Structure 1
Amino acid sequence: MNIFILDINQKKNIKYHCDKHVVKLILEAVQMLYCCWHVTQEGDEEWKRNAPEGYLKVTHKNHRINRWVRTNYASYDFTVSYAKELLSEYEYRYEKKHSYIRHVDWLSTNKPDKLDKANNLTLMPVAMPDQYKVDPIQTWDDIVASYRAYYIAEKLRFCTYRKGDWPSWLPSKPDPKKKEKEEKEEEEKKEEKKKVKKMVDKTITTTSSRGRKIQKVVQVEEEEEESDE
Structure 2
Amino acid sequence: MNIFILSINPKEAAQAHGDKHVIKMILESCQMLYSAHWTAVHPELLKEKAAVKLAKAQKALAIPDYMLTAPKRKCSANQESGYRPVHLHHPCTIWVRQSTGNYLWLAELALALGDEYEFRWPGRVHSCKAHAAWLKANLPAIPEGPRNGFAVAMDPMYRVPNDPLASYVNFYKGSKKDRNLTNYTRREKPAFL
Query: Could you say whether these structures have the same fold, taking a TM-score greater than 0.5 normalized by the shorter chain as the test?
Result: yes
Q: TM-score, normalised by structure 2?
A: 0.80
Structure 2 gaps, min length 5: 43-60, 74-81
Partners of 2:10 and 2:105 within 8 A in 1? no
Partners of 2:91 and 2:151 within 8 A in 1? yes
The letter for the 1-side match of 2:95 is W
Looking at structure 1, the residues matched to 9 and 67 of structure 2 have their Cα atoms a distance apart, in angstroms, of 33
User: CA-to-partner distance for each residue in 1:88-142, whole Å, 9 max, x for gaps?
Assistant: 0000001111111221121111111x21122x2101121100111012x1xxxx1
The letter for the 2-side match of 1:163 is R
Q: Share of identical aligned residues, percent? A: 35
Q: What is the aligned-residue RMSD (CA, Å)?
A: 1.4
Looking at structure 2, the residues matched to 48 and 109 of structure 1 have their Cα atoms a distance apart, in angstroms, of 12
Report the more deviating stretch, 83-92 or 142-151: 142-151
Q: Aligned residue for 2:153? A: 127
Looking at structure 2, the residues matched to 51 and 162 of structure 1 have their Cα atoms a distance apart, in angstroms, of 31
Q: TM-score, normalised by structure 1?
A: 0.68
Partners of 2:101 and 2:147 within 8 A in 1? yes
User: CA-to-partner distance for each residue in 1:194-223, whole Å, 9 max, x for gaps?
Assistant: xxxxxxxxxxxxxxxxxxxxxxxxxxxxxx
Give the structure with higher Rg (CA).
1
**In the alignment, is residue 59 of structure 1 matched against residue 90 of structure 2?**
no
Shift of residue 9, structure 1, vs aligned partner: 2.5
5 Å-filtered alignment, 1:23-102, equals: 23-42=23-42, 45-54=64-73, 55-95=82-122, 96-102=124-130
**In the alignment, is residue 109 of structure 1 matched against residue 137 of structure 2?**
yes
SS of the residue aligned with 2:154? coil
Shift of residue 13, structure 1, vs aligned partner: 1.6
Looking at structure 1, the residues matched to 69 and 119 of structure 2 have their Cα atoms a distance apart, in angstroms, of 30
User: CA-to-partner distance for each residue in 1:64-102, whole Å, 9 max, x for gaps?
Assistant: 010000011111100100101000000000111111122
Looking at structure 2, the residues matched to 89 and 148 of structure 1 have their Cα atoms a distance apart, in angstroms, of 19
Which aligned runs of 4 or more in structure 1 are off by greater than 3 angstroms?
none
The letter for the 2-side match of 1:24 is K
Looking at structure 1, the residues matched to 191 and 144 of structure 2 have their Cα atoms a distance apart, in angstroms, of 38
SS of the residue aligned with 2:170? helix
- More strand as a share of residues: 1
- More helix as a share of residues: 2
User: CA-to-partner distance for each residue in 1:30-63, whole Å, 9 max, x for gaps?
Assistant: 0000000110112882123232223111110110
Looking at structure 1, the residues matched to 190 and 139 of structure 2 have their Cα atoms a distance apart, in angstroms, of 34
Q: Using CA pairs under 8 Å that are at least 6 residues apart, name the structure with larger relative contact order, 1 or 2.
A: 2
User: CA-to-partner distance for each residue in 1:14-36, whole Å, 9 max, x for gaps?
Assistant: 11111011011011000000000
Q: Aligned residue for 2:21? A: 21
Looking at structure 2, the residues matched to 167 and 102 of structure 1 have their Cα atoms a distance apart, in angstroms, of 27
Q: Aligned residue for 1:152? A: 173
Shift of residue 8, structure 1, vs aligned partner: 2.1
Looking at structure 2, the residues matched to 46 and 19 of structure 1 have their Cα atoms a distance apart, in angstroms, of 36
Number of aligned residue pairs? 163
The letter for the 1-side match of 2:126 is H
Looking at structure 2, the residues matched to 102 and 12 of structure 1 have their Cα atoms a distance apart, in angstroms, of 20
